Amino acid sequence: MNTSTRSPQRVRAAAGPLGHVHDNADLRPLLTFVGVALPVGWVLLSIPLVDDVPLSPFILGTLYLGLVLPAVLLTRRDPGASVRDLFRETIRTPRPTWLLLPAAMLIPLTVWGAGAVLGVDAEVDVPFLVTLALANVASSLLIVNLWEEMAWAGFVQRRASARWGYAGGAVVTALLFIGIHLPLSLYGAANVGDVASNLAAMVIAGVGLRLLIGAFDIWGHRSILALGLLHATFNASSELLEPDADWVRYAATFTLGLLAWGIHHATSTAAAPADAGRMGAR
C-alpha cells in the first residue's frame, strides 16, 4: 500500500510501542476477529455445561477454530502484515535469549514465594518441579499456549497497543480474553456469588498477565515463544499452591503486571529525551 494513502491509524501504528509498521491500529481487523472468536468460544465452551462431555476438546476447538484460524486469515488479508512473519515470531527465541529464563521462572518463583510467606504453598519437592517443567509446561506450551499467544499477543494485543498504547492494549486484550472465556465462569459455580468471584479472578489475572506479556513482547523483540512460555508457567503455577489458595497466583500475576507497567513507563520516559535529541540533530 502506498504510504501517502495510509489512514491516521496506520501512521500511528508506525510509531507504536513495538516500533513496527505492520502493527495495524485499524479497528476493523480487531472487530472481525472478535465477531468470530467470541461466538465460537461461547458455543463450544458452553456445550460441556449442558452435556456430560469432557471440556478439553472444546477448549482446543475454541483455540484453533476461534482464535488461530481467524488470526491467520486476517493477517493474510492485511497488506501491512505477513503470515510468514507471524509464524516465524511464534517459534523464534527472544533477543536477548536469556529472557527465556525470566519468562519461565518469574511467575512460578513469585507464586511460590508468596505462597510460602502466606503459608498456603503446596508440598512440592525438586523431582516434582522437574516433572512439572518437563511435562506440564512443555505440553501446554506446544499444544496450547504458543498458538494461543500467536492469536492474542501476535494478532490482537499488538494491534490494540498500536491504537491505545501499551497499557490500553493490554486491558482491551484482557477484556476480550475474559469475554471468550465467560462460559468457564459458570463451571463449579453454585450461585451468583461464585460466578462473580470467578469473573473477578479472570479480570485480576487477565489484566496482570496481559501487562506482563505486553512488556515481554517489547523486551524480547517480538518473540511469541517467550510469551507462550510465560502463559504456560502461569497456568502450571497453580500446582504450587493449595487448591483453595489460587487467589495468591492471581494477585502475584497482577502485581508482576503492574511492576512491568511501571518499568515500561520509566524506560519509555527516560528514552523520550534521547529520541527527541536525535531527531533534532538530523
CB 176 within 8 A of CB 34: yes
CB 134 within 8 A of CB 175: no
Confidence of residue 280 (pLDDT cuts 50, 70, 90): low
Is omega for the bond preceding 183 within 30 degrees of 0, making it cis?
A: no
- The tens digit of pLDDT for each residue in 132-178 reads 666 777 888 999 999 999 999 999 999 999 999 999 999 999 999 99
Residue 208 has pLDDT above 90, yes or no: yes
Query: What one-character DSSP code corresponds to residue 245?
Result: G
Residue 262 has pLDDT above 80, yes or no: yes
When pLDDT is averaged across residues 114-133 and rounded to a whole number, the result is 76
DSSP-assigned states of every residue in 141-176: IIIIIHHHHHHIIIIIIHHHHHHHHHHHHHHHHHHH
When pLDDT is averaged across residues 172-186 and rounded to a whole number, the result is 96
From residue 92, give the alpha-carbon distance in Å to each of 86, 100, 205, 217, 265: 10, 11, 26, 12, 26
Separation CA 182–CA 45 (nearest Å)? 9
Q: Which residues contact 268 (CB under 8 A, 6 or more apart)?
A: 17, 166
| Helices 247-281 and 192-219, axial angle in degrees (round to 10) | 30
How many residues can be counted in the chain? 282
From residue 274, give the alpha-carbon distance in Å to each of 80, 232, 271: 29, 37, 5
Residue 276 has pLDDT above 60, yes or no: no
Q: Which residue has the cell 472487530?
A: 31
Residue 231 has pLDDT above 80, yes or no: yes
Separation CA 21–CA 2 (nearest Å)? 13
